[in-house]
Chain A
Amino acid sequence: MPREGLGEFEQTVMLAVVHLNHGKAPAYGVTIVDEIERRTGREVARAAVYITLRRLEEKGLVQSWMGEPTAEVGGRSKRLVDVTAAGIRALKESREFLNTMWRGAELPARGGK
Chain B
Amino acid sequence: MATAPPRIARALLGVSIPRALRSTVLRDLDEVFDKKVREIGAAAAARWYRREAASCAWRFAADRVTFGGRGSMGVSTLDLKLAGRMILKSPGLTLVGGLAIATAIAVTVLAFELVNDIIRPSLPLPNSDRVVTLQWFNPRTSDLEGRLSRDLYRWQSAHSITAIGGYVSHDRPLSTGDGAGELIRAAEMTASGFAVAGVAPLFGRTLVADDERPGGPEVMVASYDVWSGLLNSDPGVVGRVVHFGGTSYSIVGVMPSGFGFPVSHKAWIPLRSVNAMAERFSGPPLRAFARLKPGVTSAAAARELQGISAAEPVTTPELAGPDVVRLETRVVPYAAGLVPVRALRQSTELQSILVLILMMCAANVATLVFARTATRQQEIAVRAALGATRARILVQFFFEALALAVVGAAVGMGIVTVVINRVMQFVWSTGAAHPFWWDDRIASTSYAYAAALTLLIALICGITPALKGTRRGVSGSLQAEGRSTSAKFGATWTTVIVVQVALMVMLLPPALSQAWQGFRARPGGAGFAAAEYLSAFVLLNDEAGALSEDDQRMAASLSDLEGALRAAPFVTGVTFASTFPGTLNNASNIEIEGVSFGDREKPRTYSAVVAPNFFATLDVPVLTGRDFTSADADHGLVVIINQQFLAQLDGRNPIGRHIRRRLGADPADLGPPMEIVGVVRDLGFSPLRPDDAAGFYEVARPGTKGVNQIAVHLPAFSDGPGAFAQQLRQVAFKTNPHLLTLQPLPLHLAGQAELVAFRVFASAMFFVAVMGVVLSTAGVYSMMSFTVSRRTREIAIRAALGADSRRVITAIFSRAVVQLSAGAGLGVALIVYMRPEFAKEVWLPVSLGLFMMVVGAFACLVPARRALRIQPSDALKDS
Q: Write the residues of chain A forming the contact surface with B, with a CB cutoff of 8 angstroms.
A: 28-30, 45-48, 50-51, 54, 73-74, 76-79
B38 to chain A, nearest CB (A): 9
Pick the 8 closest A-B CB pairs, nearest first. A47-B59, A29-B28, A47-B56, A79-B24, A30-B28, A51-B63, A76-B27, A74-B34
B55 x A46 contact (CB < 8 A): yes
Q: Judge if B842 is at the interface, Cβ distance under 8 Å.
A: no
Given A46-B52, A78-B27: A51 and B34 within 8 A (CB)? no
Please give, as numbers and ranges, the residues of chain B lying within 8 Å of A47 by CB-CB distance: 25, 55-56, 58-60, 63
Q: Considering the chains assembled together, what is the distance between the CA atoms of A74 and B52 in angstroms?
A: 20
Closest chain A residue, CB of each to CB of B34: A74
B59 and A45 form a contact (CB under 8 A): yes
Bound complex: CA A79 to CA B20 (Å):
12
Complex contact A29–B24 (CB within 8 A): yes
Give the CA-CA distance A43 to B31 in the complex, in Å. Answer: 18
The one of A46, A54, A73, A76 in contact with B30, judged by C-beta atoms closer than 8 angstroms, is A76
- Restricting to B13-53, which residues have a CB under 8 Å from any CB of A? 18, 20-21, 24-25, 27-32, 34, 52
Indicate if the CB atoms of B63 and A28 lie closer than 8 Å. no
Q: A28-B28, A47-B59, A47-B60 are known contacts; what are 4 more A-B pairs with Cβ within 8 Å?
A: A30-B31, A46-B29, A74-B34, A76-B30
List residues of chain B with CB within 8 A of the CB of A45.
55, 59
B2 within 8 A of A: yes
Enumerate chain B residues within 8 angstroms of A30, measured Cβ to Cβ: 28, 31-32
Contact A50 B24 (CB under 8 A): yes
In the complex, A11 Cα to B55 Cα: how many Å?
A: 22
CA distance A51 to B60 in the complex (A): 8
* Complex Cα gap A76–B60 (Å): 24
Complex CA distance for A39 and B25, rounded to whole angstroms: 22
Distance of A73 Cα from B34 Cα, bound (Å): 9
User: Is there contact, CB below 8 Å, between B21 and A50?
Assistant: yes
CB B295 to nearest CB in A, in angstroms, measures 15
| Structural contact, B56 and A46, CB atoms closer than 8 A | yes
How many contacting A-B pairs (Cβ < 8 A)? 45
A74 contact from B2, B21, B29, Cβ within 8 A: B2
Residue of B with least CB distance to A72: B31
Q: Could you give 5 example pairs across A and B, Cβ below 8 Å?
A: A47-B58, A48-B59, A74-B30, A76-B31, A77-B27
What is the bound-complex CA distance between A52 and B382, given in angstroms? 37
User: Closest approach, in angstroms, between the C-beta of B31 and any C-beta of chain A?
Assistant: 6
Evaluate contact between B24 and A51: CB separation under 8 angstroms: no
The reply to whether A50 and B25 contact each other, CB–CB distance below 8 Å, is yes
Residues of A within 8 A of B28 (CB): 28-30, 46, 78
User: When chains A and B are docked, how far (Å) is the Cα of A4 from the Cα of B433?
Assistant: 64
> For residue A48, which residues in chain B have a CB less than 8 angstroms away from its CB?
59
From A58, which residue of chain B is reached at the shortest CB distance? B70
Question: Once the chains are docked, how many angstroms separate the CA of A50 from the CA of B24?
Answer: 9
B21 to chain A, nearest CB (A): 5
Q: Which of B25, B30, B52 gathers most chain A CB within 10 Å? A: B25
Taking the closest CB of chain A, its distance from the CB of B390, in whole angstroms, is 28
| Chain A residues, CB < 8 A from B18 | 54
Which residues does chain B contribute within 8 Å of A78, judged by CB atoms? 27-28
| CA A54 to CA B21, docked complex, whole Å | 8
B675 CB → nearest A CB, Å: 80
A29–B2 Cα gap in the complex (Å)?
Answer: 22
Chain B: which residue is nearest A48 at the CB level?
A: B59
Cα–Cα distance between A54 and B52 once the two chains are bound (Å) = 19
Please determine whether A54 and B29 come into contact, CB atoms closer than 8 angstroms: no
CA distance A62 to B21 in the complex (A): 15
- Which residues of A lie under 8 Å from residue B2 when comparing CB positions? 74
- Min CB–CB distance B34 → chain A (angstroms): 5
Question: What are the residues of chain A within 8 A of B60 when measuring CB–CB?
Answer: 47, 51
Chain B residues, Cβ within 8 Å of A51 = 59-60, 63
Instruction: Determine the chain A residues whose CB is within 8 A of the CB of B27 once the complex forms.
Output: 76-79
A78 to chain B, nearest CB (A): 7
Neighbouring B residues of A77 by C-beta, 8 Å: 27
CA distance A74 to B37 in the complex (A): 13
Interchain nearest-CB distance for B22 vs A (Å): 10
Q: What's the minimum C-beta distance from A51 to chain B, rounded to whole angstroms?
A: 5
Q: Kindly provide the distance from the CB of B103 to the nearest chain A CB, expressed in whole angstroms.
A: 34
Q: A54 to chain B: which residues have CB within 8 Å?
A: 18, 20-21
Q: Could you say which residues of chain A place their CB within 8 Å of the CB of B56?
A: 46-47
Q: Which residue of A lies closest to B2 (CB)?
A: A74
Q: Which A-chain residue is minimally distant from B63 (CB atoms)?
A: A51
Which chain B residues border A74 with CB–CB below 8 Å?
Answer: 2, 30-31, 34
A50 to B18, CA, bound (A): 11
Kindly list chain B residues whose C-beta atoms are within 8 Å of the C-beta of A46. Answer: 25, 28-29, 52, 55-56
Chain A: CB-nearest residue to B18: A54
- Whole-angstrom distance between the Cβ of A30 and the nearest chain B Cβ: 5
A76 vs B59: C-alpha distance when bound (angstroms): 25
**A33 to B478 Cα, complex, angstroms:** 52
List the A side residues contacting B63 at CB < 8 Å. Answer: 47, 51
Closest to A70 in B: B31
Chain A residues near B20: list those with CB within 8 A.
54
Residue among A45, A47, A79 with most chain B CB within 10 A: A47
B residues 472-503 in Cβ contact with A at 8 Å = none
Within the complex, the shortest CB–CB distance from A92 to chain B, in Å, comes to: 26
